[in-house]
Structure 1
Amino acid sequence: MESETDVVQVSQGLLQGRKTTTKSGGPLLCFQGIPYAKPPVGPLRFKPPQPPEPWNGIYKAQEEPPVCPQHENGVFRGQEDCLYLNVYTQEINPQNLKPVMFWIHGGGFVIGSGNTDMYGPDYLVDAGVLLVTFNYRLGVLGFLSLDNEDCTGNMGLKDQVAALLWVQQNIESFGGDPNNVTIFGESAGAICVSFHMVSPMTKGLFHKAIAQSGSALNHYAYTFLSKSRSFAVGQRLGLKTKDEKELFSFLQNVDLEKLVKEAENIIARVENTSGLRIVFVPTVEKVVPGQQPYLAQHQEILLKNGQFHHVPYMTGTVTHEGMINLRAIVRKPQLLKGVNDHFENVLPRQIRDALTDSQIQELCNKVKKFYFQNSPITMDNVASYSDLNTDMHIAAGVCLAAKYVARSSSFPVYFYNFSYDGLLGCGKMSMGPKAAILSGPYHGDDLGYLFRLGLYDPDLDPDSNEVKVRSKVIALWTNFAKTGNPTPHRTPELPIEWLPFTPQNERYFFIDEQLYMGTYLRNERMAFWENIYQLAKL
């Protein structure tokens, strides 16, 4: 039975949430839909987030907020007034302030939200942490850049900074510890975590970081083409101009739904690619007088030079990350003909742009030999195609970022591989009934072992392997948030020590029915891609 919480004082005024229970029956206080910035509408479209307005009376923080505008599978949803966050905890007056876990949702920078259809707080809150989830601007609204003072870009990342600032100012009112904040995210959310590690804007706003299946070094995590893509959007919407100010004024006032849809469509027409269709993403900013840039130098330079926030860092992958890129092929194997006929388009755009035509062909030959022994790609060797996508799109960048951090950080780096294949694998489920062509988890399958999946929440036998693995994952993640060490002491649930990843000893913690340590995961494959990155000077 639900009731209202006590009234809480935050910087904008008084608010009140609702009391309910977690799935296990434990206490759960929900404060949902709290504005952390002004609505980014009208003249604030494409602008940095502004401090939220105060209110009179008691704000009812009892319903999930609207999602930020997005277009998925032909359906548009969301509204521009979307910069809200949610706070979940067991109690607002604990004897000791609780560690704060600040979740950054994924979705390729174009879809998703912090809402409970994917990210129910139950299991994390039961483990004694305070959870914050939130929405940030996506796609063209969050990452348009004209590389000038009108539109510097990275607004979606700056929204996240605004949410972190709100946490610093207000989380103690909910019983959270502003001096113990762990940022964590998956996929695009992990990329955001990685960018926050190197941005001067985030200094002091978090104290630990977890990047799941992503890093700022993934090739699709950034672009140098923001400006040309911005003009391409204007042209598709009917404005042919070379004037930046005219374009900016036009895009600030154009119909929201048209803007979001056309921005998503340009990459297939403007750029020669058959890979990931992620158009507007983070970028290095032009330094503008009077404005602090979120990112003024390329992230690899900063990581390589040790210019990042030195905090305990956890990162990792799942076994078959690359299966997310094979969704269409699983449904229509005949699409493999196009892959074989135009294999060069499989390579990331950033790599192709850095090479001559002859170098691209030479690289294609190397990749074909390394992954396929020069055989055509078919459904019989699709596992190798999944490995290629795993390494090229995710694992190589995650591994390289971990090496850079471990090389100069004053804190430990913990690297995992999630290898359990169970009923809570939401990534595999989202691909449909034909997806299970490879055993092992797919991209996103780890999420079902951290969050209560509102869209899919089966009642499981407490003795099932799924429940046991979920308990292990929750303990590892919350131990890290509490202490900076995922295994501060051995328990029957966590019987082995998770040893740090170092440049001298690349240790990996394998999360499966049984937990175990290993070394040099995907070693030959990672070395192959490091050589390619050096060739392309990425």
Structure 2
Amino acid sequence: MMEKLGILVVVAIFLETVSATSLGVVYTEGGMVEGKNIRLGFRRHMDIFKGIPFADVPGRFEKPKRHPGWDGVLKATEYRNRCMQVNLIMTDTRGSEDCLYLNVWVPHGRSVSTGLPVMVWIYGGGFLAGGSMGANFLDNYLYSGQEIAERGNVIVVTLGYRVGTLGFLSTGDSSLPGNYGLWDQQAAIAWVHRNIRSFGGDPDNITIFGESAGGASVSFQTLTPHNKGLFKRAISQSGVALCPWAVNRNPRKYAEEIALKVNCPTNENMASCLKMTDPALLTLAGSLSISSSPDHPLVENLALSPVIDGDFLPDDPSNLFHNAADIDYIAGVNDMDGHIFTGLDVPSINSQLIDTPIEDVRRLLASYTKEKGAAGLDNAYSTYTSTWGSNPNRETIKKTVVEIGTDYIFLVATQAALYLHANNAKTGRTYSYLFSEPNRMGGIGKPYPSWMGADHADDLQYVFGKPFTTPLGYWPRHRDVSGYMIAYWTNFAKTGDPNKGDLSVPATWPQFTNTGHQFLEINSKMDKGYVKQKMRMRYVHFWTSILPSLSTVFSE
């Protein structure tokens, strides 16, 4: 009996191996590509392609061009270089100018997949850094699309785009118009639209999603007139085109600063000199100054960002929402998104022992409202201290600093973008969320205080399913929240409604409307009661209505 069973098992394994579902060699516009096929479970496989070129090696400060193609079969099994950028400590560069590649994850069941929804990821990194594969720890890449693709039964694509000086330097005129990184993203989205059918994807059901500068990039891609009909839905996590750091309003000034650093003139020969300068020198010249204080907050140093160039962005982003009228849109923030920035500006907020001086709260607010002078500061200060009482405790003051940073850098702009999206929508649906799973580094004996919520980028590990990939590093509640996010995100990619799809969700997420302003709070404890409305309405009203109505006393 056992012998027969053994033979049956061998036969089953043999049939499973023989019938392994795989796309094999895929024909694309540039030529043939072959990835790697892995087994996920019984009758479930996945094809993974890494390093497919979606454009040619870009010319310096030029828009990307189509790839000329290749002969034979391109082995797409390794991630390619990230685009040239400064290293973490900003002392050197890494990456290459040959960097316009994308990666594709395709799940299969009993038969080879066809007509799957497609999710295209755009990474963040302040427009200065990042890569299509994300940070790597022991060969576990942050932006591996495997968990999302497998659990949600969608195709996941991640792409590379130019960052830093080479991606975003602009003189504010036609000699160096800027936005090269946005054009790279757009070229990758267009490539996916033209080619994804060969990989089993539905070119008419593409969702773009991204976080931080990637979330703002997603927002820009929905607003540009150049993407008509290329994708259907979009998700911005902790970043939209309206964020104060997302558009450089004075690119010429910054271009001249970089020119001086690399010994180029600042006259009519500036652009031609910059084009001939060593790319590593250019990249280092655009590195971020990390020294910050409440008087000079870090967010003000993010100067290499998109510009209103009259082409990719024909107008101020706030005037372009009609272009997103038929795009379904999710946007949201983490409840303490500003912590990573304010922790550098006001380091005392992370100390359990040192008080944060109330004067630091005033100084930070003064920086954020400086265009409006004393009236701006007084209004801001009274708004943020209204709940303090006469004797605020240490924790209240520290949390207020984080709230100010979160509101100013991310939350208010995201609410404004949701409002404009809903206001301009024709067929497009609008959804708002707040992610609040507490940071894993917060608590007694840890580097962050016990009151820490979700810091900037804390959502990434859950969206990409890391608690499932590396279960030993997480608690069961982390797998819960990861499962919820993958369910909402992939349901939305399939149907345009995060509640409807193949995966069940813990709470019905209502649409955001201009009357209800409803949003979903996402964390591991969530249930039906986590549907809320009017996110931080008082503070949103301050930044969007009260402050702008005051007279400007100082402008750059």
Q: In structure 1, what is the equivalent of residue 253 of structure 2? A: 228
Q: Does 1:347 align with 2:367?
A: yes
Q: Deviations over 1:287-310 (max 9, x none)?
A: 4xxxxx10110011223xx34342
1:527 aligns with 2:552: no
Match of 1:118 among 142, 148, 154: 142
Contact 2:350/2:449 (8 A) holds in 1: no
Instruction: Report the Cα distance in structure 2 between the residues aligned to 1:144 and 1:377, rounded to whole angstroms.
Output: 45
Offset of residue 335 of structure 1? 11
Task: Show the counterpart of 1:290.
Answer: none
- 1:331, 1:434 within 8 Å by CA — same for their partners in 2? no
Corresponding position: 1:217 with 2:242: yes
Q: What corresponds to 1:7 in structure 2?
A: 25
Task: Quote the Cα distance in structure 1 between the aligned partners of 2:71 and 2:180.
Answer: 29
2:274 to 246, 251, 275: 251
Give the match for residue 442 of structure 1.
455
**Which residue is 1:89 aligned to?**
106
Residue pair 1:267, 1:279 contacting (<8 A) in 2 also: no
CA offsets, 1:227-249, max 9 Å, x none?
A: 11011101012224322xx2112
Q: Please tell me whether residue 383 in structure 1 is matched to residue 399 in structure 2.
A: yes
TM-score, normalised to structure 2, is 0.83
Q: How far apart in 2 are the matches of 1:361 and 1:326?
A: 18
Higher mean C-alpha deviation, range 523-532 or range 18-27: 18-27
For the 8 Å contact 1:104–1:134, the answer to whether it is kept is yes
Report the secondary structure of 1:220's partner residue.
coil
- CA change 1:234–1:421 in 2 (3 A) is same
CA displacement, residues 438-459 of structure 1 (integer Å, 9 cap, x when unaligned): 23221211111111459x9532
User: What is the rounded CA distance, in whole Å, between the counterparts of 2:325 and 2:112 in structure 1?
Assistant: 29
Q: 1:396 aligns with which of 383, 393, 412?
A: 412
Name the SS for the 1:472 alignment partner: helix
Residue of 316, 334, 347 corresponding to 2:332: 316
Amino acid at match of 1:125: A
Larger radius of gyration: 2
CA contact (8 A) 1:449 1:469 kept: yes
Q: Distance between the aligned counterparts of 1:221 and 1:94, measured in 2?
A: 41
Mapping for residues 129-528 of structure 1, pairs under 5 Å? 129-243=154-268, 246-265=269-288, 273-276=296-299, 277-285=301-309, 287=310, 293-303=311-321, 306-328=322-344, 329=347, 340=360, 343=363, 347-348=367-368, 352=370, 354-355=371-372, 357-359=373-375, 361-362=377-378, 365-366=381-382, 369-370=385-386, 381-410=397-426, 411-421=428-438, 433-453=446-466, 458-460=470-472, 464-488=476-500, 493-512=504-523, 513-515=525-527, 516-528=530-542
Q: 1:367 to 1:459 in 2, by over 3 A?
A: same
Q: Which aligned pairs between 1:11-50 and structure 2 lie closer than 5 A?
A: 11-21=29-39, 26-40=44-58, 44-50=59-65
Shift of 1:209: 0.8
Q: Distance in 1 between matches of 2:485 and 2:288?
A: 38
- Range moving further from structure 2, 274-283 or 128-137: 274-283
CA distance 1:50–1:490, shift in 2 (3 Å) = closer
Indicate conservation of the 8 Å contact 2:22/2:46, yes or no: no
User: What letter is aligned with 2:100?
Assistant: L
CA distance in 1, matches of 2:84, 2:383: 38
For 1:236 and 1:372, the matched residues in 2 are separated by: 46
Shift of the 331–384 alpha-carbon distance from structure 1 to 2, 3 Å rule, reads closer
Contact 1:119/1:453 (CA < 8 Å) preserved in 2? no
After superposition, the Cα gap between the structure-2 partners of 1:366 and 1:46, relative to the gap in structure 1 and judged at 3 Å, is farther
Question: Does 2:90 align with 1:67?
Answer: no
Q: Letter of the 1:451 partner, please give it.
A: F
Q: Is 2:258–2:286's contact at 8 Å kept on the other side of the alignment?
A: yes
Q: Which amino acid aligns with 2:431?
A: Y
Q: What is the count of residue pairs matched by the alignment? A: 511
Distance 1:196 1:536, change over 3 A: farther
Query: Residue 88 of structure 1: CA displacement?
Result: 0.7
CA distance in structure 1 between the aligned counterparts of 2:83 and 2:543, rounded to whole angstroms:
35
Listed one character per residue, the Cα deviations across residues 471-506 of structure 1 (whole Å, up to 9, x for unaligned) are 111111100000000112797x42532111111101
- SS of match in other structure, 1:296: coil
CA–CA separation in structure 1 for the residues paired with 2:419 and 2:227: 22
Secondary structure of the 2:175 match is coil
Asked if 1 retains the 8 angstrom alpha-carbon contact of 2:121 and 2:159, the reply is: yes
SS of structure 2 residue aligned to 1:89: strand
What 5-or-longer segments of structure 2 have no aligned partner? 1-16, 135-140
Return closer, same or farther for 1:505/1:37 CA change in 2, 3 Å cut-off. same
Q: CA deviation at 1:526?
A: 1.5
- SS of 2:471's partner is coil
CA contact (8 A) 1:23 1:122 kept: no
Contact 1:38 1:51 in 2 (8 A): yes
Which of 210-219 and 146-155 deviates more? 146-155
Aligned to 2:67: 52
CA–CA separation in structure 2 for the residues paired with 1:262 and 1:313: 36
SS of the equivalent of 2:161 reads: coil
Alpha-carbon spacing, 1:346–1:183, altered in 2? closer, same or farther (3 Å): farther
Distance 1:261 1:24 in 2: 50
Structure 1 range deviating more: 194-203 or 510-519 = 510-519
User: Conserved in 2, the CA contact under 8 Å of 1:36 and 1:52?
Assistant: yes
Share of identical aligned residues, percent? 29
Distance in 2, matches of 1:67 and 1:339, equals: 42
Q: Deviations over 1:307-339 (max 9, x none)?
A: 434211111112111111134316986896797
Report the residue type matching 1:325 in the other structure: F
Tell me, what secondary structure is at the counterpart of 1:261?
Answer: helix
Amino acid corresponding to residue 93 of structure 2 in structure 1: F
Deviations along 1:101-143, whole A, 9 cap, x unmatched? Answer: 0111111111111105221212211120000001101011111
Shift of the 421–266 alpha-carbon distance from structure 1 to 2, 3 Å rule, reads closer
SS of match in other structure, 2:37: strand
RMSD: 3.3
- Give me the whole-angstrom Cα distance separating, in 1, the residues matched to 2:291 and 2:244: 18
Change (3 A) 1:316 1:242: same
Displacement, 1:77? 1.2
Gaps (5+ residues) in structure 1?
A: 288-292
Query: What residue identity is the alignment partner of 1:395?
Result: L
Q: Is the 2:375–2:550 Cα contact (8 Å) retained in structure 1?
A: no
Q: Is the Cα–Cα contact under 8 Å of residues 291 and 298 in structure 2 kept in the other structure?
A: no
